[in-house]
Each structure stands twice: as C-alpha cells, then as structure tokens.
Amino acid sequence: MLIVGSGLAGAATAMRLLRFARDPLEVILLERRSDYRCAGVAYHRDGNPWGHVFNIQAGRMSAFREDVHDFIRWANSEADRGDWPAPWAGMTFAEEGPAPRRIFQDYLVDRLAEARREACPGVVLVEADGEAVDLEVRPTGVDVTVRHFSPDGAGKGSGGGQDRETTVLFADRVILATGLELREPPFAAEVLDHESFVRNPYSAAGVRKLTTLPPGATVAIVGSVLSAYDSAGLLLRQGHTGRIHLVSRTGTVFRTYPAGHEHEVVRLPCPKTLLEPYAHREEFLARVRSEWEAACSTVLREHPGIHPTVVAERVAKAWEPHLPKAIELIPSAELRGLLDEFGTAIAAFRVGAVEYTMEIIERAMHPADGTVRLVVGKVAGIKPTESGRLAVSVDARNGTRSIEADLVISNFSRESDYARVGRPLWRNLLRRGTAVPHERTGRGLEVDERGALLGPGGEAAGPVFAVGVLREGDEMVRNGRTGAFTFNLAAIKNHSIAVAAHVIGRLEPSDDVLAESLAKYYARSSNIKEVDRAEFEEAVTLEVRRLATRTRSERELIDSRLDSCIRAVAEPPGLSVDASRRDRLMRVVVNRAAVERLTDISVTPKELRRQLGIANS
C-alpha cells in the first residue's frame, strides 16, 4: 500500500491499515514535506502558535470515532509537556474545553507509533520522504513516479538513502491523502511577493510576520471565517493595539459554542418542499428559508435543553439524510453557483468555535472602543503604495472603499477545483483520466461509494483511492454533508476505516460479486431465521471489536473467536462452495457489515459506542 500524503488523513488511514491487516503487508507513508508528517497544514507546529486552538471542543478530537475520549486521555496522561508554556503545561483538559492545535501532531505521531508496534507479524510501516508526481495504472497495480524519494526519511537533509531525482515505485493499491491545496488569490496578483502580504498565515514565514508586527500597525485580513479569527486572535493576544479590518464578502460571523456544549443529533422530519422540482434560485431559496425557519422553531420548542446558539448546527445535521435527494433536483451550474454564494454561510451554520477563540475577537469588535472592524464587501484588488504599505480596494454595497494597511493577510483560501490545482500530480492524473474533477459541485474528485477514483466514463480508474478533502463534492451529494464536515476530522475518521478495510479485503482472495450478493442477503432480516441472525450478529459484533481494538494480543483473541463464530453461521441457501472459500466470503460480508456500523454518521460517537456494545471498553 502506498499512501500519498501523511497529514491527518494519511496518518489516520495508515493506523487503520496497520490495525486491520492480518497478513503480511507493507504500508509506505509518503510525505513531500517532513514538517507536515502527522500534521498537514492544519496542525503542523511551525504554522500553529500556542494560541491557535481547535475550532471544536477537545473532546471531539479523537482520531478514532469508536474511542471518543482517546485524545483527552492522551493529552492528560501521556503527552510530553516538557516544552509546553503556561497555561497549557499545567492544564487538565476537559471534554468541552479548548486545546492547542499544535499538540495534535504529537498525538498522531504517538498513535501511529503504537499502531506500528501492535501490528501483526509481517505488517510493516515505511515512512518515506518524496513527492508523488504521477501515477500510471498497470494491470497488476500502479507505478508511482516520486521525486526525491527517501525511505524512512534517510534523505532529510542528509543526502542519504535513494534521494535521486525520480524513482518509480510499484504499489498494489494507492491511497491519495494529499490534503488542502492553496488557492491563487486573483485579487493579489501584484503583491504575492510583497513583504507586507501574507499569503499563507499557517506557514512559518506567515506566523513570523504576525508575531513581529509592531503593535500599532494597521492590518487587513481578507475573509471572516475561522482561519481569519486565528490570525486576529494571535495579534490580539500579543497585545496588538492597531486597527484590524476583517474584510468579508458576506459579513458572516461565526457562533461561539456555549459552555458545556456537547455534540448531539436531533431527529427532524424531512423538509418536503425541498424535494419539489427546481424552478429558479429565488424560488428555491424561499423554500429553503421557510423550511429552515420552521425547523429551527421546532427545535427551540421541542428541545428546550438545546442552547439557541447551536440550533442551526442541529438543524443542518438533521437535514443530512434528506439533502442528497434535494441536491439531485438542482442543475449542476445552479448547484455550483449556490455553493459559491452561500458556502461561508453554510459553514457558519454547520460549526461554531470555542469560547477561547471567540471571546477575544468579540471583545475587540465592540463598536465603541474595539480594534477589530468587520468590512462587508468583495476585495477587488490589492496594490502597493509609494509608502511601502498596501492598499486594499473593497467593493461594498455603498460604493468602493480603500483600506491602507501595513500588513495584509489572505485568509487561508483552499483550492477545491482540481482542474485549477497546479501541482504536477494533479495535472498528470487529470491528463491520464485517472482522476476527474467532481462534475456536480466542482469540489474534489469523482469517487465511488468506497472512495475509489472514477475515470471520465464513470468507471473505476484503477486501484487508486481517496480520503479527506478530495471527496468533498461526493460527501455533499452522497451523504448530505455540508460546510467543513465534507472534509474535516469527522469525515476523515470514516474514510480511513472504510478505505483501509476495503483495500485490505481486496488483497485477500474472494469473489467480490458473490460477496456482494451475500451482503445483500444478510442485510434483509426477512431472509434469515432468528437463530442464524443471532449467529451473524455475534460475528459482526466481534468484527467491530476487532477493528476497534488497539493491541495485537487482544485482536488475536477476538480473531480466534471470530473464526469459530463464522464457521457456525448457517450457509445461505444455494451457496455451493468449499468450506474454506465459504469462510473467506463470510469474512468479507461480516467485515462490510462491521465497517458500515463503525461509520454510521446518523449518531454521535458516544451513541455509536453504546450501539456497538463497546461503551465500557
């Protein structure tokens, strides 16, 4: 297995492969930037000062959906706090409280090392440096062209290993986990290299410019989403007194999670008018607004314990099962336009931010004496001035205004249309037809229900799979996910489970068509006698526990019980195969059922643990 990208998505998938594999397997975890290993842009230490905290509560940051408190346990009892500053060094982290983003890299490093130690004999992990620039699908696998390949980091500045210009690696399966791509800001073409312009505030250079800025300087931050709050918060916490302009096209301001907030799933009826034929944008938006207001009123009335601040989040989550059918009725061009126009608003409805981040911003936005000002309008351009400052031209409702600033920060803007991504890997994959931009949304790539890349005709492009942000558009149209939940930690947890289980299953000898038929047979309760159903359910429960177990010794005990249980499951009528093939097929069917339960997004992780019978594990 070759995983391209070792940020959060790549590391999480590698952990699952190491846990799930029962037969010898080599997992190569390839990363082009060593500082991004087990971190990516969101969590790497150089781009995340101690004041950058998770947007959501620390209790929702476990890398494992079936072990919801794992990150909190690690932070409180396992983390090395030797170089942590106050107040974090002495903090006891709470489920509903904040935690600094930079420590997540240490957490993922520790958990990946544990998965490596606890893997079955012959299951090995190779952490390699290098940049994948091309994939060529062969009849038996994939040839991957890698620049500056260095196994186990032997070439990290040392000149060792196989650090030559290009190396071609062969892989049976490739999993793409390349993370966020940086968008070229068209309004800043003239100032990209200007010393007063920060294109990426999550880079070491970007952080350095913010932390060395004179306290009285004037700052303009393009955008008002949560990454803009990170930059503003960093300045304010170091005592910045100059004016900070948050320039937002929509004027959207995010919500603060109430104290003691816990994630919860509310059941609401289907918003039926959204399933009516699409006429035009104004008519559709009127239906959305009416259904939205009615749903919010229902939550406020029937769930008085839910804080009004998070009602929007509850409604957005409750609508997920119904959105795929509603989206089907919207023409592609209209869907793309709606997402472009309302993407920020949708993101703000779907997720808030912890008080640690928001309280300092809200205080600084006080109209009387605050230093932060929200400027509603679209940035038309940024030009250098004779004084060395930058002039930001903003098209607002009441005309064009100019903001002259000592520093302009381009709120981290990701490129979601892979037809516009400039990296060689994506140019080559699109040229070959191995990858196709998502047609309906223009976000991410076309994939099937298991995350395999699809070619121009909708056929599988080969044994190449995607996890994370690459599946953004598919998550919208297939699962009704919205906002950051199309690609954030919650989605990555499920992708890592499903892709790892599927690719390992495909390496083991089985008849996939026959396994699919068996899976459908066992999915219908009416087909099966009560005693057979009980045996099948016991097998699925054991497989869930095997997939969720961290130690090899415990997995081996469960595995032996599972083998006995599978042999006891009655053979479906008409299945005429030898015993060993039948057991392999049943393994596949049981595994698929277990994965489906582990990745059920209709419940919270805590509810999932109760459903799976592992709440007290």
Q: Are 102 and 45 in contact (CB under 8 A)?
A: yes
Strands in 407-410's sheet, in edge-to-edge order, are 197-198, 407-410, 219-222, 244-248, 372-376
- From first CA to last CA, the distance across the chain in angstroms is 30
Greatest mean pLDDT among 86-95, 339-348, 365-374, 583-592 lies in 86-95
Largest CA distance in the chain: 83
Q: Give the model's pLDDT for residue 574.
A: 62
| Residue 521 banded pLDDT, cuts 50, 70, 90 | low
Helices 70-77 and 103-117 meet at what angle, rounded to 10?
Answer: 100
Query: In what order do the strands lie in the sheet containing 174-176?
Result: 166-171, 141-150, 123-138, 25-31, 2-4, 174-176, 460-466, 452-454
Q: For the whole model, what pTM was predicted?
A: 0.93
Sequence-distant (≥ 6) Cβ neighbours of residue 217 within 8 angstroms: 240, 242, 405, 406, 407
* pLDDT over threshold 70, residue 18: yes
* Distance in angstroms (rounded) separating the CA atoms of residues 56 and 352: 7
Per-residue model confidence (pLDDT) at position 617: 56
2, β-bridge pairs: 28, 174
Collect all residues with Cβ–Cβ distance below 8 Å to 221 and sequence separation of at least 6.
228, 231, 232, 244, 245, 246, 247, 408, 409, 411
Question: Residue 160's pLDDT is what?
Answer: 39
Say yes or no to pLDDT of 162 above 70: no
The answer on pLDDT for 570 being more than 80 is no
pLDDT band at 164 (very low <50, low <70, confident <90, very high): low
Query: Is 516 a residue whose pLDDT tops 90?
Result: no
3-state SS class at 7: coil
What secondary structure letter does DSSP report for 125?
A: E
pLDDT at 184: 85
* Cβ contact 274:291 at 8 Å: yes
Query: Residue 390 and residue 58: Cα distance in Å, rounded?
Result: 38
If one counts every other C-beta atom within 10 angstroms of the C-beta of residue 188, the result is: 21
The answer to whether the beta carbons of residues 8 and 108 sit under 8 Å apart is: yes
The total number of residues shown for the chain amounts to 617
Residue owning tokens 């997004």: 601
Distance from C-alpha of 447 to C-alpha of 449, rounded to nearest angstrom: 7
Q: What percent of the chain has pLDDT over 70?
A: 92
Q: Is 379 helix (H, G, I), strand (E, B) or coil?
A: strand
CB atoms under 10 Å from CB of 114, counted, come to: 16
What is residue 311's predicted lDDT score, i.e. its pLDDT?
Answer: 95
Per-residue pLDDT at 513:
63
In Å, how far from its chain's centre is CA 214? 36
